[in-house]
Amino acid sequence: MKYHSAFEIIGPVMVGPSSSHTAGPIRIGNIARQVLGEEPKQAVFELMGSFAETYRGHGTDLALLSGVLGMATDSAEVPTADAKARELGLDYAFKTVNLGFYHPNTVRIALAGATRSVKVVASSLGGGKIEVQELDDLPIKFSGENPTLILHHQDERGFLAKVSHLLDEAGYNIARLSLERWRRGGFAITLCEVDEAIGDDLLDALQASLPHLKDIRTVHVD
């Protein structure tokens, strides 16, 4: 992860005390919410490293709750996110675990809604920047800084080529395109970051032209 200016190190406008322990976790929670694609009803936060050691004192717990509830980094409701979660009926829990060889500010979020569930492992890198490390146990990395398509599909030959062609036809410039799978021919996730805001026209074209596509999620934090 590269920083292009001092403002990126200082971090965004936010509720304190720390961009690493507040702004970053809010963005991580927000990404998990967007990938879930519906209102969360249950949330389990598993924290490691410095997150595990200081999450209550630094407000990381409130920040993560704020993110999954859809709050922004500068929301005045961040300090009372726990009360807001209870008001909305969100069933949540915090645990400390060893997730392996990740950045010390790392959390695994398991979210469940009425019809979907998702697991996201992500790290807060400083200055409000984050990086997703895993999605549903697959090693999928992205920052959420670019409009991002997440395609759940059956693995098939030529899938990436078809996606690339459809994006090109629709006038989108691809910043990054990758595919991860459990096994050949099985369940797979394709991630595509683009330079332009994702419109409904593109989502409709993908749904209509990719018979092995199961679901589409979109993410854009900033």
End residue of a domain, out of 68, 102, 135: 135
Q: Are residues 70 and 104 in the same domain?
A: yes
Q: Are residues 153 and 96 in the same domain?
A: no
Range of the domain at 171: 148-219
Q: How confident is the model at residue 57 (pLDDT cuts 50, 70, 90)?
A: low
Q: Are residues 164 and 192 in the same domain?
A: yes
Q: Are residues 112 and 29 in the same domain?
A: yes
The predicted model gives 120-134 an average pLDDT of 91
Q: What is the pLDDT of residues 156-184, one digit of tens each?
A: 999 999 999 999 999 999 999 999 998 88
With a cut of 80, say whether residue 115 has pLDDT above it.
Answer: yes
Around Cβ 100, how many Cβ atoms within 10 Å?
10
pLDDT of residue 176: 94
For 119, the enclosing helix (H) or strand (E) is: strand 117-126
Q: Are residues 96 and 36 in the same domain?
A: yes
CATH code for the domain in which residue 65 is found? 3.30.1330.90
Around Cβ 134, how many Cβ atoms within 10 Å?
18
pLDDT of residue 5: 47
Q: Are residues 120 and 152 in the same domain?
A: no
The reply to whether 87 falls in a domain is yes
Alpha-carbon gap, residue 27 to 102, rounded angstroms: 18
Query: Tokens representing 3?
Result: 């920083």
The reply to whether 181 falls in a domain is yes
pLDDT of residue 4: 46
Q: Are residues 96 and 34 in the same domain?
A: yes
The reply to whether 192 falls in a domain is yes
pLDDT of residue 148: 97
The reply to whether 1 falls in a domain is no
Residues 6+ apart with CB under 8 A from 4: none
pLDDT of residue 221: 66
Q: Are residues 62 and 95 in the same domain?
A: yes
The reply to whether 143 falls in a domain is no
Q: Are residues 180 and 204 in the same domain?
A: yes
Q: How confident is the model at residue 54 (pLDDT cuts 50, 70, 90)?
A: confident
With a cut of 90, say whether residue 99 has pLDDT above it.
Answer: no
End residue of a domain, out of 92, 113, 135: 135
Q: Are residues 52 and 156 in the same domain?
A: no
The predicted model gives 184-188 an average pLDDT of 89
Q: How confident is the model at residue 9 (pLDDT cuts 50, 70, 90)?
A: very low
CA distance readout (Å), 139 to 80, 108, 163, 183, 220: 33, 13, 20, 13, 19
The reply to whether 28 falls in a domain is yes
Q: Are residues 115 and 159 in the same domain?
A: no
pLDDT of residue 92: 97
pLDDT of residue 96: 87
Query: Tokens representing 145?
Result: 């800084």
End residue of a domain, out of 135, 165, 188: 135
pLDDT of residue 18: 59
Sheet holding 187-194, edge to edge: 174-181, 187-194, 148-154, 213-219
Least confident residue range of 64-68, 97-101, 132-136: 97-101
Mean pLDDT value across the chain: 88
Alpha-carbon gap, residue 43 to 177, rounded angstroms: 29
The reply to whether 140 falls in a domain is no
CATH code for the domain in which residue 210 is found? 3.30.70.260
Q: How confident is the model at residue 52 (pLDDT cuts 50, 70, 90)?
A: confident
More confident residue, 94 or 15: 94
pLDDT of residue 20: 59
pLDDT of residue 13: 45
Alpha-carbon gap, residue 25 to 108, rounded angstroms: 11
How many domains does the chain fold into?
Answer: 2
Residue among 136, 122, 117, 97 nearest 42 (CA): 117
pLDDT of residue 3: 42
Rounded to two decimals, the pTM is: 0.87
